[in-house]
């Protein structure tokens, strides 16, 4: 039997700064990042610059189901992980990275898709989950230090999402857009903070944007907002 579509969802997006803090903590902070995620209200979390070995245990701790898309600097990952866990502030982004989607409202993930946005100057990806209730939710980390590249990455992600879900389907796209004026096809920006945004088609915002207290973790603030489907 087909499940009824869920008309509400709370999305959280957070760039984890490769598991680092400001100022430097000089140690592994997986427990602290996980505890922060556990304490906030969200149904779906979109994570960027996440150490690739974090999403699975984070998801278990939060009662969520994860999906992961590797980004850049992941060759010889076991070695990178060894160094990153001991000296995260020395290796920085060279510890490897991924985007992750965590779903904790109990709705199963029935499909996961990924698209490479660019390979230079570094590999950037977008990925999306299709949930059993019909929702499509995507996550991206656009290229930094170039407005043109960031907008191009958003456009590529929107086209890929249309291909997976259908050009008229309700969809949500969030993440680190690396622009304060994100454009992604016909998706509408519904809220964000700095360069971290949520855009959507077929959804409207029904809550204030919450910028969560996070210091000293990461150089980005976690952002969440509640959405409601506009269709039947």
pLDDT at 51: 95
> Mean of the per-residue pLDDT values for the chain?
93
Say if 1 falls within a structural domain: no
For 56, what's the count of Cα atoms within 13 Å in the CB-facing half-sphere? 2
Residue 168, C-beta contacts closer than 8 angstroms, at least 6 positions apart: none
Say if 232 falls within a structural domain: no
Say if 3 falls within a structural domain: no
Say if 2 falls within a structural domain: no
Say if 109 falls within a structural domain: yes
Pairing state of beta strands 210-211 and 196-201?
A: unpaired
Grouped pLDDT means (10 residues each) for the chain, 232 residues: 67 97 94 98 97 96 98 75 79 84 96 96 95 96 96 98 96 98 97 98 97 97 97 68
Pairing state of beta strands 65-70 and 136-141?
A: unpaired
Structural domain that includes position 182: 8-226
Look at the chain and report how many structural domains it folds into. Answer: 1
pLDDT at 126: 98
pLDDT at 87: 82
pTM of the full structure: 0.94
Say if 129 falls within a structural domain: yes
CATH of the domain at 127: 3.60.10.10
């Amino acid at each position: 039997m087909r499940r009824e579509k869920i008309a509400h969802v709370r999305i959280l997006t957070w760039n984890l700064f490769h598991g680092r803090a400001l100022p430097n903590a000089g140690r592994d902070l997986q427990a602290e990042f996980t505890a922060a995620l556990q304490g906030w209200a969200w149904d779906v979390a979109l994570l960027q610059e996440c150490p690739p070995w974090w999403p699975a245990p984070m998801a278990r701790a939060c009662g969520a189901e994860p999906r992961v898309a590797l980004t850049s600097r992941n060759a010889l990952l076991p070695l990178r992980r060894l160094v990153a866990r001991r000296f995260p502030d020395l290796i920085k982004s060279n510890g490897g990275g991924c985007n992750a989607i965590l779903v904790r409202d109990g709705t199963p993930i029935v499909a996961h898709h990924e698209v490479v946005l660019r390979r230079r100057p570094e590999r950037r990806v977008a990925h999306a989950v299709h949930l059993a209730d019909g929702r499509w939710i995507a996550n991206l980390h656009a290229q930094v230090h170039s407005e043109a590249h960031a907008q191009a990455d958003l456009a590529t992600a929107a086209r890929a999402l249309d291909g997976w879900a259908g050009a008229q389907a309700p969809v949500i796209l969030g993440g680190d857009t690396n622009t304060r004026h994100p454009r992604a096809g016909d998706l509408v920006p519904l809220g964000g903070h700095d360069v971290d945004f949520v855009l959507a088609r077929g959804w409207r915002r029904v809550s204030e944007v919450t910028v969560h207290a996070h210091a000293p973790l990461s150089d980005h603030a976690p952002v969440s907002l509640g959405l409601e489907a506009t269709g039947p």
